[in-house]
A = this chain, B = another copy of it.
Amino acid sequence: MRGDDFVPKRIPEPMKEFEVRPDPDDPRLSVTVPGIDHEGRAVETAVVTERPLTLFLNAREIVTMMTIGDRPDLLAVGYLLNQNMLKGDDEITAVEYEEDISTVVVRTRRQTNFEDKLKKKIQTSGCAQGTVFGDLMEEFDKVALSPSAKVKTSWLYQLTKKINTAPSLYLKAGAIHGCVLAREDKPLLYMEDVGRHNAVDKIAGYMFLNGIAPEDKIFYTTGRLTSEMVIKTVKMRIPVLVSRSGFTAWGVELAKKAGLTLIGRARGKRFVALAGLERIVFDADLGQAEEEDRKHARKGSHADAMD
């Protein structure tokens, strides 16, 4: 996408179920590798690809990320947004992906506030990556999440079932994270990546470029509910965060501070909620709710998508 061609496609809401979903048959995203098993027998194993991608904001080199490489444009924009390097009012004029040199450049009409800060910082005491964190926390304190948003337990059970059974690179090759943007019981955007933070950032990039409203959405992730995950979700203004994994103490503390509903260890009919409890509506008939079956439980593969 270059210069004048850069007109983000606007997706009318409500989006349809699985508007974006994994494509496990894309030959660029996994390869079959020969090896041996525990008895010394020859086996062939599907493994997901992982590529370096160096991100530039205008003329400035920001970071080299390891990614599956399916949506460098969304990843680039989402990363910059979630790191506070790009603000909602920055106007993107181009996102240029150069596959042969593994780079993606996000261009803005004016120099961003972040570039300006980076310049000042470099003139004083060096690399500014460390200052990003302080900026993020400052903004975090000002966010107000939708107080009227609700999450029904019946939605949660439908959502996790649909996500676990949808064709995915996870089911094909394992060792990959998944993040899903959902509304009520409908998964809308399902992104996978070798890095969980990449899957989140791709959803953030998609939401920004397509003007998707966050207030009525639910964010689902396979990864742990760490401070990073909570900060990103709050930054995206999504009021409910759900994971099949566990919590960290600071993740819980930050979620309470921001009024984010934090639901973890969501597997089958079980879950634990540690913040924003007032949004949860217990409407599901637990007798009807299913335990996860073994095939889709991701159980046999704990940590298979760990980072």
Main secondary structure of the interface of A (DSSP, over half): mixed
| CA gap between A226 and B249 in the complex, in Å | 27
Query: Nearest chain B CB to A33's CB is how many angstroms away?
Result: 5
- In the complex, which of the residues B133, B269, B274, B303 contacts A33, with contact meaning CB atoms closer than 8 Å? B274
Q: What are 6 A-B pairs with beta-carbon distances under 8 A?
A: A50-B248, A61-B130, A175-B245, A224-B305, A245-B302, A267-B300
Q: Contacts A245-B304, A249-B47, A301-B245 given: A227-B127 contact, CB under 8 Å?
A: no
Is there contact, CB below 8 Å, between B130 and A122?
no
Contacts of A43 in B (CB 8 A): 272
Judge whether A232 is part of the interface by a CB distance below 8 angstroms. no
Is there contact, CB below 8 Å, between A227 and B303?
no
Is there contact, CB below 8 Å, between B306 and A36?
no
Contact with B along A215-256 (1 / 0, CB 8 A): 000000011111110000000000000011111111110000
| CA gap between A65 and B223 in the complex, in Å | 18
Judge whether A167 is part of the interface by a CB distance below 8 angstroms. no
Contacts of A11 in B (CB 8 A): none
Judge whether A54 is part of the interface by a CB distance below 8 angstroms. yes
In this complex, which of A196, A244, A247, A267 has the most chain B Cβ atoms within 10 angstroms of its Cβ?
A247
Contacts of A48 in B (CB 8 A): 248-249
Query: Nearest chain B CB to A179's CB is how many angstroms away?
Result: 11
Contacts of A304 in B (CB 8 A): 224, 245-246, 265, 302-303
Judge whether A143 is part of the interface by a CB distance below 8 angstroms. no
| CA gap between A224 and B48 in the complex, in Å | 11
Q: Contacts A37-B271, A64-B130 given: A249-B50 contact, CB under 8 Å?
A: yes
Is there contact, CB below 8 Å, between A307 and B224?
yes
Taken together, the copies of this chain in the complex come to: 2
Contacts of A47 in B (CB 8 A): 246-249, 251-252, 274
Judge whether A111 is part of the interface by a CB distance below 8 angstroms. no
Is there contact, CB below 8 Å, between A194 and B282?
no
Is there contact, CB below 8 Å, between B224 and A38?
no
Is there contact, CB below 8 Å, between A246 and B173?
yes
Is there contact, CB below 8 Å, between B130 and A37?
no
Contacts of A257 in B (CB 8 A): none
Is there contact, CB below 8 Å, between B129 and A246?
no
Judge whether A45 is part of the interface by a CB distance below 8 angstroms. yes
Judge whether A62 is part of the interface by a CB distance below 8 angstroms. yes
- In the complex, which of the residues B50, B118, B127, B265 contacts A60, with contact meaning CB atoms closer than 8 Å? B127
Q: Contacts A224-B304, A249-B49, A252-B47 given: A277-B36 contact, CB under 8 Å?
A: yes
Q: Contacts A224-B304, A227-B66, A272-B43 given: A33-B127 contact, CB under 8 Å?
A: no
Judge whether A186 is part of the interface by a CB distance below 8 angstroms. no
In this complex, which of A66, A126, A223 has the most chain B Cβ atoms within 10 angstroms of its Cβ?
A126
Judge whether A168 is part of the interface by a CB distance below 8 angstroms. no
Contacts of A298 in B (CB 8 A): 302-303
Contacts of A209 in B (CB 8 A): none
